[in-house]
Amino acid sequence: MSEVRTSARASTATALVVVAVLAGLSAGAWALWGGRSFPVIARNVELTGEDGRRAAGPLALADFETGVESYEHVTTFEQVVALKVLDGPEVDAYDEAGPGAARMTLSSKRAGGRVLVSAVQVRDHDAAVRTADLLDELQLAFGLERGPARGGVERVARSERQSDPAPDARAVVRAHYAAGDVVVRVEFTTTSSDEQAGFADVLDKQVKVLPADG
């Protein structure tokens, strides 16, 4: 009988030790992340859409339907950089904000122009706003002109209209905005500046699934 009581006390003591260790780990994790929820990373971003290509929640990307190519493998900013869709100064602008998880979608066969949209999570909302500002300033430095605001997005830059463009000329419109701690970039490339009106539909779709708040 004595042996049974001793065994029971030992089991209880062991259980209490395990509970204490788990509690300590939880407290440590809470302190490590400043009392905030864990950051979004590739492992815990919920996927939705065709073949799980588009992410729900903070990294949501619109479904642009026609000609969409699969970029489900892109889950980090480093992978976006590797695709060479950003210029060096643009990469530097993101780097200053501590980029992490990311999503990207590309529709190169869409009638009227190519669509490229990315959502990159950065340090916080303030960092997202600063990065969007920097990216917008770079577009103007690249030679684009200010385009009309739409859907709460004011950072819109587009190619200047040319009266006699070269046969292989390309016109581009780019918008950048913050959505929480995420920087969203919407790019629409066409063969003529006269076709840039198609950008409005593209931006409207993206803002609908991930509204701008900065």
Same domain, 25 and 90: no
- Interacting residues of 39 by C-beta distance below 8 A, sequence separation 6+: 33, 100, 101, 121
> Which of the pair, 126 or 23, is modelled with greater confidence?
126
- Interacting residues of 202 by C-beta distance below 8 A, sequence separation 6+: 64, 115, 117, 186, 188
Least reliable range by pLDDT among 10-14, 29-33, 123-127: 29-33
d(C-alpha 152, C-alpha 112), whole Å: 24
| Residue 21 domain-assigned (yes or no) | yes
| Residue 214 domain-assigned (yes or no) | no
Same domain, 28 and 52: no
pLDDT tops 80 at residue 32: no
Q: What is the pLDDT of residue 72?
A: 86
Q: What is the pLDDT of residue 4?
A: 41
Q: What is the pLDDT of residue 38?
A: 30
Same domain, 58 and 155: yes
**Number of domains making up the chain:** 2
65-102 pLDDT, tens digit per residue, is 756 777 889 999 999 999 999 999 999 999 999 999 99
Same domain, 119 and 179: yes
Q: What is the pLDDT of residue 193?
A: 59
Same domain, 96 and 196: yes
Same domain, 25 and 72: no
d(C-alpha 86, C-alpha 92), whole Å: 10
Same domain, 17 and 59: no
Same domain, 122 and 198: yes
Domain that residue 34 falls in: 1-38
- Judge contact between 142 and 149, C-beta under 8 A: no
- Interacting residues of 97 by C-beta distance below 8 A, sequence separation 6+: 122, 123, 127, 128, 130, 131, 183
Helix axes 88-95, 125-141, angle to 10 degrees: 160
Same domain, 56 and 120: yes
Q: What is the pLDDT of residue 56?
A: 55
Least reliable range by pLDDT among 52-61, 87-96, 172-181: 52-61
